[in-house]
Chains A and B, each alone.
Chain A
Amino acid sequence: MLRRDPLMGATAPAFATDGLANGLDHDAARKRARDRRRILVQVLRIALAVFIVGTWELTTRLGCTGPDSGTCVVDPFFFGRPSGIWAQLVIWVEKGTAQGPLWEQIAVTLEETVLGFAIGVILGIVFGVVLGRNRLLSDVAGPYIKAMNAMPRVVLGSIFTIALGLEMPSKIALAVVLVFFVVFFNAFQGVREVDRDLLANARILGASQGQLSRHVILPSALSWILASLHTSFGFALVGAIVGEYLGARKGIGLMIATAQGTFNANGVFAAMLILAIVAILAEALVTRLESLLIKWRPNAITDVTI
């Protein structure tokens, strides 16, 4: 989002009249060119999707003879087929999945993700800020945190499944562990990177230690923390799915595991599609949250689009 600079706006009346008319012409032409480009991009995007899905569908249908799918150019038994994925989605929506209605599975996975995300973020911020402000604590805890971070933490999923059972807590715990470190390191770094002049200025202006944290350190670290939220929501989703995959009674991860168990490639792809949509929606929510919290900055760190 590009906000119009109110200071720049004030200079507009300074244009001579004919110059202004010319400028309007220019503006209109530039707007047309921009619109044309936007349409071109959209058309090309759709064409790319049609090409990929079409090729997939076509290659899994070409050369198929008889009941043996192995003769097809690409074997739909292993790689699925877009029309088959669609059919699978329709079945799930209309008749439900093997472990209950589709919406329930999505709701369960989302609940695990959101809870794991929230708990992980809060713990990450608290630990990040405390260790960031206390050099002794961070020196003592540093090596352990590094060691824990170096470990591939999804293996903890097995422990959690054993300890916390097949219900939600084990999935939430795995999501928390995955989210925590991302947020923790960003919060820690954010606190450490606080501008020394800003700190000195606040102290001169009369800030107490608590006021320093509230008015300088937290707002300054906030941009780092928010940058981590994009990645960490993805991690929360991974935690929930892997947790369900390892053992659960409900959830999208279980749907994938079930589809895998029955050699249903279309089922795996259909579940992936659902996950992708959930992740994209969540990403949009996080971006909204970010622009609400950081309205003082023209563009946030994560404002990188392709």
Chain B
Amino acid sequence: MSGATAGAAIELRAVTKRFVSPSGRSFTAIHDLDLVIAPGEFTAVVGPTGCGKSTTLALISGLEAPSAGTVAVFGEPVVAVGRDVGYVFQRDAVFPWKSVLDNVAIGPRFRGMGTGEANADARKWIARVGLEGFERYYPHQLSGGMRKRVALAQTLINHPKILLMDEPFSALDVMTRALMENELLDLWASTASSVVFVTHDLEEAIGLADRVVVITAGPGTVKGTYRVDLPRPRNIAEIRFQPRFVELYEEIWKDLRDEVLVSYERTKTRVAS
């Protein structure tokens, strides 16, 4: 690979993504975006609504192809949906017609594992996310937080080296959210995966990540990256009271605020016109 950063888990170089709407109008979601993520690194991506955060994840996962630039995972250009990637969606994406057990076991089964073996593996993961005893339940019988746990187990059972998370906890209430964030950190600590965690919540970003990347209002490009030098293991519920957390928050917020304002002004004029 020419120009590849040695040993990078994910590398986006000068990536631009345009979408063409059904009416033929072209819309640039991200523009000239550079992003390099190291193996085992937890990166949070923050930015105002509609800045192309989700598009970035879709490009890394191979669900979408870039219009220009290159996307590489472990040095290999992304051409299709990769085996090393896990993706936790913003909305519920567990299969409502499958029980918890079948939902979790489906990944290995898709990848050719026998049903018995996949089920045994799934039971382990269901226990690990704290849902033991709920194997036979259907998603509609579970709370929002429990469905997120199913989604986590469903993704992690495939041992993704790269874990993409698109505002996974944004629909949860604040208490459940803090709980889930702590559990995510525990689960992540036991794997060696690189995480790209998209959020519009700066507190969540700083609390979870090693590095926070601020994306500009659309078309998205990197405005700045900040190393979060808070010690691990962290407790999400308490970390926000540490002075260093507050410092980081202020520093990053200065960058982010301008972008949020730009994005807000745009929506206002769009509504007015």
Contacts and interface: CB of A to CB of B under 8 A. Distances in A.
Nearest to B157: A205
A201 B87 contact: yes
By size class, the interface of chain A is 20 to 34
Nearest to A222: B97
B140 A205 contact: no
Contact of B158 (A197, A205, A222, A297): A205
A206 B63 CA distance: 12
Contacts of A298: 140
A205 B106 contact: yes
B98 interface: yes
A17 interface: no
By size class, the interface of chain B is 20 to 34
Q: Which 6 A-B pairs have the closest CB atoms?
A: A206-B110, A201-B93, A205-B107, A219-B97, A197-B93, A206-B111
B253 interface: no
A305 interface: no
A296 B89 contact: no
Contacts of B61: 204
B154 interface: yes
Contacts of B110: 202, 205-208, 211, 215
A198 B94 CA distance: 7
Interface of B: 61, 63, 81, 83, 85-87, 89, 91-99, 106-107, 110-111, 137-143, 154-155, 158
A7 interface: yes
A38 interface: no
A296 B97 contact: yes
Interface string A193-205: 0010110111111
A220 B93 CA distance: 13
Contacts of B155: 204-205
Contacts of A203: 63, 81
A126 interface: no
A5 interface: yes
Contact of B143 (A7, A222, A294): A7
A200 B61 CA distance: 10
A123 interface: no
Contact of A200 (B83, B89, B97, B137): B89
Nearest to B89: A197
A154 interface: no
Most buried by B among A6, A205, A207, A216: A205
B141 A204 contact: no
Contacts of B86: 204
A298 B139 CA distance: 11
Interface in A228-271: none
Interface of A: 5-7, 195, 197-198, 200-208, 211, 215-216, 219-220, 222, 294-298
A224 to B, nearest CB: 13
A296 B158 contact: no
Given A198-B95, A211-B110, A296-B138, 20 more contacts: A7-B141, A7-B142, A7-B143, A197-B93, A200-B87, A200-B93, A201-B94, A202-B95, A202-B106, A202-B110, A204-B81, A204-B85, A206-B110, A206-B111, A208-B110, A215-B106, A222-B97, A295-B138, A296-B98, A296-B99
A54 B154 CA distance: 64
Contacts of B140: 296-298
27 contacts: A6-B137, A7-B141, A7-B142, A195-B93, A197-B93, A200-B87, A202-B106, A204-B61, A204-B63, A204-B85, A204-B155, A205-B106, A205-B110, A206-B83, A206-B107, A206-B110, A206-B158, A211-B110, A215-B95, A215-B106, A215-B110, A216-B95, A219-B97, A296-B97, A296-B99, A296-B140, A297-B97
Contacts of A208: 110
Most buried by A among B81, B110, B111, B138: B110
A205 to B, nearest CB: 4
A70 B34 CA distance: 93
A199 B183 CA distance: 27
Contacts of A198: 93, 95
Contact of A197 (B91, B99, B106, B111): B91
A206 B154 CA distance: 12
Most buried by A among B95, B138, B142, B158: B95
A5 B89 contact: no
Contacts of B63: 200, 203-204
Nearest to B58: A200
Nearest to B102: A215
B141 A205 contact: no
Nearest to B61: A204
Nearest to B85: A204
A294 B155 CA distance: 25
B87 A219 contact: no
A197 B202 CA distance: 25
A164 B255 CA distance: 78
Nearest to A205: B107
A257 B111 CA distance: 60
A207 B93 CA distance: 14
Nearest to B94: A201
Given A203-B81, A206-B110, A219 B95 contact: yes
